[in-house]
Amino acid sequence: MVPERTRHLDRLFTQVERAMKINELDTITDDVIEAARSTLVIGIS
């Protein structure tokens, strides 16, 4: 896997954990993933 993609996945999962903690969720849902994804700022390369 490309190191850049690994960093993006790491950032995404960090945001997923944060959203789940804030919303007191035990399960990753599509909405959690979408919320986490929407907060990431990833430049175009």
DSSP for 1-44?
--HHHHHHHHHHHHHHHHHHHHTT-SS--HHHHHHHHHH-----
For the cut 80, the answer to whether the pLDDT of residue 9 exceeds it is: yes
- pTM recorded for the entire structure: 0.78
Model pLDDT, residue 41: 75
* pLDDT for 5 beyond 90: no
How far separated are the first and last CA of the chain, in Å rounded?
A: 16
Asked if 32 and 25 touch (Cβ cutoff 8 Å), the reply is: yes
Sign for the CA dihedral angle at 17, 35, 5, 42 comes to negative
Is the pLDDT reported for residue 44 higher than 70?
no
